[in-house]
Structure 1
Amino acid sequence: MRLVIARCQVDYVGRLTAHLPFARRLLLIKSDGSVSVHADDRAYKPLNWMSPPCWLVEDDSMWVVTNKNGEELRITIDSIEHDSSHELGVDPGLVKDGVEAHLQELLAEHVQTLGEGYTLVRREYPTAIGPVDLLCRDADGASVAVEIKRRGEIDGVEQLTRYLELLNRDPLLAPVRGVFAAQQIKPQAKTLATDRGIRCLTLDYDVLRGTDSSEYRLF
């Protein structure tokens, strides 16, 4: 990972345009090729970014990041205060809490909770950015990636979106649809998921454990 603190201007040119005037910012270049621009607020969310696959070309005071669609992130450098690279190694991934891990086990055992005719391909299906909780096939044989949370928030939808972007590059799997499953799903997360074509499934922990005969609910 490369960390650069610089006074810079950022212009995005693609499906629309966006402009960030000169200011001190953190530029984050990861080993997967992604480039993101951060301010000293907004927690984890960048001001602008380019997801992989993309390519960074540095030419004196101008950095240009281009993706396969021809979109560009143009970073004009006025001055650099810090530039360092760090090897982080292989990340072990997020360790789920007991309830979340058990939900994954239960849904894998009762995969038809997702719909009639669903079959499980694999739990913890590996990708370059971490494992997908469940990879399944629906009644028509189409691939479905399932992300499972105890509490469904926007972060989880974003995580599943990134998985789907990667999985849909695999011609043996594509097209891959997504299901966001959780015990509770916040309205904002549901709205974002729906906008991205991801189906939401509210899980009842007791039903999956077989202690309650009421039906699961689909939204």
Structure 2
Amino acid sequence: MRLVIAKCSVDYAGRLQAHLPLATRLLVVKADGSVLVHSDSLSYKPLNWMSPPCTLQSSEPDDEQREAGIVETWRVTHTKTADTLVVSIYEILHDSDHELGIDPGLQKDGVEAHLQKLLAEQIEVLGEGHRLIRREYMTAIGPVDILATDAAGASVAVEIKRRGDIDGVEQLTRYLELMNRDPRLAPVAGVFAAQEIKPQARTLAEDRGIRCVVLDYDAMRGIDDSHTRLF
């Protein structure tokens, strides 16, 4: 992982247009190829980012850019969509590389872990003909909650959350990109399963061909009958 603190401006061009004016920010380049632009606010959320597969090219400024004070330009291009993230760097305050190694993944507890167990036991919630292969299927970047097959025998990777947001969709996207390189599994479809899925997350998932499934925790535990509810 490369961490760069720099005075920079950022422009995103593609399905949407966005501009971040000159300011001091944290630039994160991860081993999976993703590039994230952070400020000292918004908690864990980046101001802008580019998800893999993408390429990063660094170049020295031309005469016009040099006169404007730019010392380096990053152009990050998404391989599939051709969207671009252009980072114009005016000053580098810190630049370091760190080898983090393989992360074992989040150890889940509470409701989320119980949801995984229940869904594994009731895999037909995903649809008739689905069959469980295993829970916590390990990949090089962490474990997929559930690996299953559908009625046609095709592989299905399932990511489970209590509340489904964009970060969960991004996480599943990374798993799918990796798993679809494995000829033993490919093609692998994705299912994003949660008790509640935010509209933005649903839109992003469906745009990427990922199916969303809302899980009824009480019904799966057998303590709530949705057919006898008044509301």
- Please identify, of 183-192 and 142-151, the stretch whose mean Cα deviation from structure 2 is larger: 183-192
Structure 2 counterparts to residues 144-183 of structure 1, below 5 A: 144-183=156-195
* CA contact 2:102–2:141 (8 Å) conserved in 1: no
SS of residue paired to 1:23: strand
Q: Distance in 2 between matches of 1:185 and 1:71?
A: 26
Give the alignment partner of residue 126 of structure 1, picking from 100, 119, 138.
Answer: 138
Per-residue displacement from partner, 1:32-77 (whole Å, max 9, x unpaired)? 2222112222222222222223333333422233342444332222
CA gap of 1:143–1:64, structure 2 versus 1, over 3 A, is: same
SS of residue paired to 2:142: coil
* Matched residue type, 1:76: S
* Matched residue type, 1:45: K
Once the two structures are TM-superposed, the CA of residue 93 in structure 1 deviates from its matched residue by: 1.4
User: Gaps spanning 5+ residues in structure 2: where?
Assistant: 61-71
* Matched residue type, 1:68: T
Q: Hey, what does 1:63 align to over in structure 2?
A: 74
- Please identify, of 30-39 and 160-169, the stretch whose mean Cα deviation from structure 2 is larger: 160-169
Q: Is structure 2 residue 4 aligned with structure 1 residue 4?
A: yes
Q: Is structure 2 residue 21 aligned with structure 1 residue 21?
A: yes
* Matched residue type, 1:134: I
Q: Distance in 2 between matches of 1:28 and 1:130?
A: 20
- What value does the CA root-mean-square deviation take over the aligned residues? 2.8
Q: Distance in 2 between matches of 1:52 and 1:187?
A: 23
Q: TM-score, normalised by structure 1?
A: 0.80
Per-residue displacement from partner, 1:1-34 (whole Å, max 9, x unpaired)? 2211111122334455443332211111112222
CA gap of 1:82–1:117, structure 2 versus 1, over 3 A, is: same
Q: TM-score, normalised by structure 2?
A: 0.76
CA gap of 1:184–1:7, structure 2 versus 1, over 3 A, is: closer
Give the alignment partner of residue 136 of structure 1, picking from 119, 143, 148.
Answer: 148
* Matched residue type, 2:91: S
Q: Distance in 2 between matches of 1:39 and 1:153?
A: 20
CA gap of 1:171–1:14, structure 2 versus 1, over 3 A, is: farther
* Matched residue type, 1:146: V
Per-residue displacement from partner, 1:107-156 (whole Å, max 9, x unpaired)? 21221122111011221122343221111111122222212223334433
Q: Hey, what does 1:97 align to over in structure 2?
A: 109
* Matched residue type, 1:9: S
CA gap of 1:208–1:126, structure 2 versus 1, over 3 A, is: same
Aligned identity (percent) is 70
- Please identify, of 104-113 and 55-64, the stretch whose mean Cα deviation from structure 2 is larger: 55-64
CA gap of 1:183–1:53, structure 2 versus 1, over 3 A, is: closer
- Please identify, of 39-48 and 172-181, the stretch whose mean Cα deviation from structure 2 is larger: 172-181
Q: Hey, what does 1:81 align to over in structure 2?
A: 93
Q: Distance in 2 between matches of 1:124 and 1:191?
A: 26
- Please identify, of 2-11 and 63-72, the stretch whose mean Cα deviation from structure 2 is larger: 63-72
Q: Distance in 1 between matches of 2:151 and 2:197?
A: 25
* CA contact 2:7–2:90 (8 Å) conserved in 1: yes
